[in-house]
Amino acid sequence: MNSIFQKKSEKEIDIGSPENFLNRELSLLEFNKRVLAQARDKSTPLLERLFFLCIASLNMDEFFEIRVAGLKQQVAFGSLQSGPDNMTPSEQLQNISDAAHEIVQEQYRVMNEDVLPALKKKDIHCLDRNNWNQKQQEWIKGYFNRELLPILSPVGLDPAHPFPQVLNKSLNFIISLEGKDAFGRNSGIAIVQAPRALPRLVQLPQTCSSHQYDFVFLSSIIHHHADDLFPGMTVTGCYQFRITRNSDLLVSEEEVGDLMRALEGKLPSRRFAEAVRLEVPDNCPQEMIDYLTHQFNLQQNDVYQVNGPVNLNRLMAISQIVERPDLKYPPFTPGVHNRLMKNMDIFEAIKKGDILLHHPFQSFNPIIDFIRQAALDSNVLAIKQTLYRTEDDSSIVDALIRAAHEGKEVTVVIELRARFDEEENIELANELQAAGAHVSYGVVGHKTHAKMSLVIRREGRHLKRYVHLGTGNYHAGTARLYTDYGFLTTDMAITDDVQKVFQQLTALGKAGKRKKILQAPFTFHSGMLELIEREANAARNGKPARIIAKMNSLVEPTIIEALYTASQAGVKVDLIVRGICCLRPGIKGISENIQVRSIVGRFLEHSRIFYFHNEGDYEIFLSSGDWMDRNFFRRVETCFPVEEKRMKKKVLKEGLQIYLSDNTQSWQLQSDGSYKQNPPGNAALKSAQSTLLELYSS
């Protein structure tokens, strides 16, 4: 009777109503607030606080380049389309403008009132041009004459010199002038574009430094010597400015015959696409702002007036130049899996049982060794690999090239459309093809986001398959900064599934049903819905039910509605969502059993883990994709089970439970979409990342 009543109650409440969903873009801005909070946190090492300040600025750049740019395009096309929250593009832009202006104001407050004063106390100074002493002025004058003056090209605006093309995110100056030049011209306005080849932050030599580290901004040097650029004229105003442009590459994949050529043709346009944001100093006169907004077809709410350099990212150079280990996170050496310490032969180690690695707490080197040993092993016949993002001088890429040179069958699926890595991936594709590898760009209309490697090895009279599946990229650099899982196995069902996915990516036709792997865009979404519904049914029948899910973003509305339904049925749902979350917790009668937390700390939380109680025989899945529309329907993703009992227990404890008990770096999502940091109260301080570092690092 109670079960029937509960089902009726669930149906009576409209869980799909817009007020039950948080806005995607505003949720992303909330994430950036949490990143910025790390820059305020005095328990974070000082140079790391500076790093977080710069990361928050970089995040805002990408937000405008992609998210705001997309919304502006929708408005320009007259679109009234809204998401589950029912907010139109115009409404979103207004809300974004309000929130973004607050965030930018806070960024510069943190810089001016918190970070820079703290750096000064540690003898690290960014010198204002009004405070340069005589020696410093002389050196800076020489630097300007030697490094800047020969390559600067001021443009005085007149009919023969129209407003110049301004590169995306470049440093520029608008200068007001009085007087006439040698030709009798007096336009009153000139534009100076800072050379891209020069550093934006210049360290003064010890011969003229007053402190251990003295820095000056390139913008200050140009500003101070603006008169030298216009001899015989008077500079009455000099103001830096920066334009952010639409950086999303729009390629009609259905209409192009060669995706690589199409992308190569689109890359240059990114530099001069439509403007979406103007940054100027807070002392810039309104008439100058009006002039610039007119030139770039922007509105007043697209203008961000700042108290400092228009690009905070340039401060990142300080943490790279300053040699002060005491102001950074202490170094650590990643742990090595026990079986890999005893056995240098990676294939012998995997044959003894599945290997699960938790990066960055455990070393990424075994994954590199997996491909490197495969390249050198005469028994290896073929290597198949997906590549989404890699670093320069990648050891994995070198190994694939070596394998191709050795005559092995090397197949690489490269995702050319990995945002902001398109150019590097095109070069990578050309390099691999030149070595003799078979290069594929995946499936038109679906980004290949799955992280998987397949090695086929002859052992006696049989061929044996070895597989690596991961939640992160094959990028050794980010493997030291992102939390991810890597899984090495010879499981016949999984290796067969992976081989079929590769066949699907590189050939035509249907590759058959998967035995264990859930794959987007086919079974990942439906598989997750079935598992959520199974927990809901268990709860309706009075049985224990629990869902724990860790991911980067939660957006897809059908999944959110399924979680609401599970919550209504009595399922306890714990979500660990680092970034965007459109689910609104704590709604009476809908999501009272759902809690959402976000962890922001030293490492970027990147692993995707899905736990389902299953009446005590719990199941755990690791995935390359989040619970987002794009991951379910427009990407090729793999979601794979962790089945070995000790391994499941390990993931449950280290990947989920430790994070649910974190009370130092965790934030709780409120019903209104804001986040509050979880206070430790009287409990002992617990940090998931610190605990894992202590557990694994040597």
pLDDT 10s digits, 19-46: 999 999 999 999 999 999 999 999 999 9
Q: Express each pLDDT in 572-582 by its tens digit.
A: 999 999 999 99
Confidence band of 511 (pLDDT split at 50, 70, 90): low
Residue 449 annotated in active site: yes
Residue among 449, 475, 606, 613 flagged as catalytic? 449
CA pair distance 391, 39, nearest whole angstrom: 27
Q: Token pair 């890999």 is at which residue?
A: 340
Distance from CA of residue 67 to its chain's centroid? 13
Confidence check: pLDDT of 664 > 90: yes
Closest to 394 in 3D by CA, of 357, 431, 423, 345: 431
What average pLDDT does the segment 647-674 reach? 97
Confidence check: pLDDT of 326 > 60: yes
Provide the pLDDT for residue 252: 36
Closest to 407 in 3D by CA, of 375, 441, 432, 442: 375
CB 472 within 8 A of CB 625: no
For the domain 338-515, what is the CATH code? 3.30.870.10
Q: What separation in angstroms does the CA of 285 have from each of 190, 281, 292, 497?
A: 15, 9, 11, 63
Confidence check: pLDDT of 8 > 70: no
Provide the pLDDT for residue 423: 66
Give residues with Cβ within 8 angstroms of 111, minimum separation 6: 53, 308, 312, 315
DSSP code per residue over 621-652: EEESS-BSHHHHHSEEEEEEEE-SHHHHHHHI
Lay out the sheet containing 275-281: strands in order across. 155-156, 189-193, 172-178, 234-245, 275-281, 303-306
Confidence band of 251 (pLDDT split at 50, 70, 90): very low
Provide the pLDDT for residue 585: 98
Confidence band of 417 (pLDDT split at 50, 70, 90): low
Of 319 and 683, which is predicted with more confidence? 319
Provide the pLDDT for residue 219: 94
What average pLDDT does the segment 349-357 reach? 95
Provide the pLDDT for residue 272: 55
Confidence check: pLDDT of 6 > 70: no
CATH superfamily of domain region 94-327: Polyphosphate kinase middle domain (3.30.1840.10)
CA pair distance 548, 320, nearest whole angstrom: 38
Structure-token pair, residue 447: 């980004």
CA pair distance 473, 391, nearest whole angstrom: 10
Confidence band of 342 (pLDDT split at 50, 70, 90): confident
Provide the pLDDT for residue 434: 87
Q: For the ranges 231-235, 250-254, 373-377, 425-429, which has the lowest average pLDDT? A: 250-254
Structure-token pair, residue 501: 């996915």
Q: Could you tell me the sign of the dihedral formed by the alpha carbons of 97, 98, 100, 101, in that order?
A: positive
Q: Which residues on neighbouring strands pair with residue 676, listed in sequence order?
A: 668
- Buried-exposed string 626-637: b where 16+ CB fall within 10 A, e elsewhere: bbbbbbbeebbb
Write out the residue limits of the CATH 3.30.870.10 domain(s) in the chain. Answer: 338-515, 519-696
CA pair distance 254, 263, nearest whole angstrom: 13
Provide the pLDDT for residue 547: 98
Q: Express each pLDDT in 175-208 by its tens digit.
A: 999 887 665 666 689 999 999 889 999 999 999 9
Confidence check: pLDDT of 268 > 80: no
Question: What class, spelled out in words, does domain 519-696 have in CATH?
Answer: alpha beta
Provide the pLDDT for residue 260: 44
CB 194 within 8 A of CB 222: yes
Of 569 and 511, which is predicted with more confidence? 569
Q: Express each pLDDT in 607-644 by its tens digit.
A: 999 999 999 999 999 999 999 999 999 999 999 999 99
**Cis omega (within 30 of 0) for bond into 159:** no
Of 588 and 443, which is predicted with more confidence? 588
Confidence check: pLDDT of 331 > 60: yes
Q: Express each pLDDT in 553-573 by its tens digit.
A: 999 999 999 999 999 999 999
Closest to 156 in 3D by CA, of 137, 134, 177: 177
Pairing relationship of beta strands 447-448 and 635-642 according to DSSP bridges:
parallel
Confidence band of 697 (pLDDT split at 50, 70, 90): confident
Q: How many residues does the chain have?
A: 698
Structure-token pair, residue 262: 């199409």
Confidence check: pLDDT of 266 > 70: no
Confidence band of 341 (pLDDT split at 50, 70, 90): confident
Provide the pLDDT for residue 257: 42
Confidence band of 605 (pLDDT split at 50, 70, 90): very high
CB 146 within 8 A of CB 202: no
Mean pLDDT of the chain: 90
CB 535 within 8 A of CB 566: yes
Rg (CA), the chain: 28
162: which DSSP letter?
Answer: P
pLDDT > 90 in the chain, percent: 77
Write out the residue limits of the CATH 3.30.1840.10 domain(s) in the chain. Answer: 94-327
Q: For the ranges 243-252, 495-504, 547-556, which has the lowest average pLDDT? A: 243-252
Q: Count CA atoms within 13 Å of residue 476 on its CB side.
A: 16
Q: For the ranges 257-261, 337-341, 520-524, 530-534, which has the lowest average pLDDT? A: 257-261
